[in-house]
Structure 1
């Protein structure tokens, strides 16, 4: 995960009206807190922040150039988005130091295919880990390639990078491989037949 530098401004107005004005100006209301310091109310540039999250994930570490206050290193802690329109409404930032370890959630990405006739159920989409603030993995991958029916994968089996330790309960079920029901197999076969029929129709029309 790369470190991103963003120039930010301190906010002196608060409340819903002030927040709306901040967003209309192309900024995102944010609060920086941590290490016993007083919270700082900031405005983040929307485009630059969205790019940092897109390229580095929701746990992006930012070097904030605060106007009139120097630089601060911060971990993106909480992003609040509008439930319908999707734009970012507010961001909570946690003050961190280089070398400091933090506890965050990272996505679990399942790769590979289990044996034919199986159904894959991912029970856990994120796992809690502890890592250095500047070395937070974007995700952890779990391969289920060739997994037999009845196989269960637990959090303890996730292969985390060096220096990253599991904080979630190691006995938490991540993926369960079970036998696909007859109805699911019929639906899959039916979809395959429909796709083949559509292909034949397209060929005849041509």
Structure 2
């Protein structure tokens, strides 16, 4: 995981009124917690955090530079709380990590290249956009890129097909589907029509059982 440093300051006062005041001044109220550490209430620059979030996402180590270097703490973003519109960040949770201990994090899954099935008219459907993994922070990648170029129409790509760096374990079920190349609607209709035609051709005549020959009745021969 990439490591970035962000400045922050200890909050002496807490509560809704204080949090509202900080947000008006361009800061996000936050808290740091984790093993072997007491909770620390801090604030970070809204613009600085948004810039880092846009460039690196949450799949990186945020080293908190507290009070101009008086203390530094390596963390990962555990939770981002937004307002009711889902736009403004109103609170952050940072989780203290240790570089020599495994972490459990969620990392994005991104498709690269164009699937063979797409070229043939299909649509690449992505049903999972992130995956839970565990590993040492230095080994966990910021994103998992999947080359989908060999996927044909009707093919599935599952969690079990994902390739991870050495020392990184996938925690989600290997049977969960990540990508599917969905056939075009026209192809589905065509297949259904063909199936119906085959059924009609193979349907036995009335009174005839499969594998038996219909013999004329005595009435029909007189």
> Could you say which TM-score interval applies, normalised by the shorter chain?
0.7 to 0.9
Gaps of 5+ in 1: 186-206
Identify the residue that residue 50 of structure 1 maps to in structure 2.
50
User: C-alpha root-mean-square deviation of aligned residues, in Å?
Assistant: 2.3
Gaps of 5+ in 2: 190-222
- Cα deviation digits, residues 155-187 of structure 1 (max 9, x gap): 0101112332111111111112232102999xx
- Cα deviation digits, residues 27-74 of structure 1 (max 9, x gap): 111110000432111111222222222222113312222228522111
Does 1:108 pair with 2:109?
yes
CA contact (8 A) 2:33 2:95 kept: yes
Identify the residue that residue 180 of structure 1 maps to in structure 2.
184
Q: Runs ≥4 in structure 1, deviation > 3 angstroms?
A: none
- Match of 1:21, SS? helix
Does 1:130 pair with 2:134?
yes
Q: Using the alignment, how far apart are the partners of 2:5 and 2:157 within structure 1?
A: 39
- Residues 85-124 of structure 1 aligned to structure 2 (within 5 Å): 86-111=87-112, 112-115=114-117, 116-124=120-128
Q: TM-score, normalised by structure 1?
A: 0.80
1:147/1:40 Cα in 2 relative to 1: closer, same or farther (>3 Å)? same
- Residues 1-206 of structure 1 aligned to structure 2 (within 5 Å): 1-67=1-67, 70-84=71-85, 86-111=87-112, 112-115=114-117, 116-182=120-186
Quick check: which has more Rg, 1 or 2?
Answer: 2
How many residues in Structure 1 have an aligned counterpart in Structure 2? Answer: 185
- Match of 1:174, SS? strand
- Match of 1:49, SS? helix
- Match of 2:2, SS? coil
CA contact (8 A) 1:5 1:62 kept: yes
